[in-house]
Amino acid sequence: MKVHKFCHATATLSCLLIMAAPSYAAFVFEEDFESPDTANFQTFLSGETLVTANNTWSITANSIDLYEDAARSEAVSFDGGQAVDLTGSPGQGVMETTFNTLPGTEYELVFHYARNDLNGSTVASAQVDVIGTSALIQEQVDHDPAQLVFSANKEFRQSFIADDTQALIRFSALTGTVAGVTIDAISVTRVDALPGDLDGDGFVGINDLNIILSNWNQFVPHGDLLRGDVNCDGFVGIDDIGISLGNWNAGTPPNAQANIPEPTTMLLMSVTGLMWLTRSQVKVRC
């Protein structure tokens, strides 16, 4: 009777996991510049790092300014209350960081940009580069005061095919001395990604679930699919496994003739055990 009840509870759990699967976007990189909180603005010089909630940016030339738009009438953010002016105080800055990729996989880079009004009547320009083994994106963006008010954010959107397990993203100011292009709301997503397909083989199965289980209850880089963060919250847990089970057997198996089983009772029992262990290890932080 106890075994029957446990199996019934396990089956119920699997249904709840699938029904509770959160909305999914295949983010592998996100940046909103909402931390650290500047209250006004803060300059980061060449050789320093800007550590945000999600990423660590290296400043490799001159300086950049992280600013709070509520305190700076000459510049705006796109999402939230903070953004970066690539032309710092002073100098045309360069900032860069890296993110993980799967070779041969298509990704899309999106960010929003405006300009600091102190730039005056001059066109504000910057360059964005995404670099793997080779250059994947090399584009210049311009914000022209003859066409747009300084606060009108424009969207940049371009896809690329990864050629290595990691890519570098770099933003470089091309104009200005103390004011230039401002950037915010940066993201990189897998194009046409199958929710729950962590290893990029076009199929949601045991390999993907093993990635989640091997990183269970761990904090990982936001959106790192190869470490199990399916929903891009920086933590591997119930939401991630819910997405994978909700799309179980979706896609085409690498071996199309393979007979792929549904998640077994033993597997779901293991998940149940992990959830129970997770609950028993939770520490209250005050």
Say which CATH number the domain at 120 has: 2.60.120.260
Domain for residue 10, yes or no? no
Q: Please state whether the predicted TM-score (pTM) of the whole model is above 0.85.
A: no
9-23, 116-130, 157-171: the lowest-pLDDT one:
9-23
Between 6-20, 133-147, 183-197, the lowest mean confidence (pLDDT) is in 6-20
Domain count, the chain: 2
Q: Residues of 122-158 as b/e, b for ≥16 C-beta within 10 angstroms? A: eebbbbbbbbbeeebbeeebbbeeeeeebbebbebee
Residue 233 has what pLDDT?
A: 80
Confidence band, pLDDT 50/70/90 cuts, at residue 253: confident
Q: Is residue 19, in this structure, part of any structural domain at all?
A: no
- Give the pair of three-digit tokens for residue 121: 């009547």
Among residues 142, 173, 190, the one where a domain terminates is 190
For the segment 23-58, what is each residue's pLDDT rounded down to a tens digit?
455 778 999 999 999 999 999 999 999 999 999 999
Which pLDDT belongs to residue 25? 57
**113/242 same-domain check:** no
Domain boundary among 144, 163, 190: 190
In a domain? residue 178: yes
Range of the domain at 129: 27-190
Burial grade of 59 (CB within 10 A; 0-12, 13-18, 19 or more)? buried
3-state helix, strand, coil in the chain (%, to 5): 20, 35, 45
Q: Are residues 153 and 35 in the same domain?
A: yes
Q: How confident is the model at residue 230 (pLDDT cuts 50, 70, 90)?
A: confident
Q: Largest alpha-carbon pair distance within the chain?
A: 79
Q: State residue 12's pLDDT score.
A: 44
Residues 111 and 137 in one domain: yes
Mean pLDDT of the chain: 84
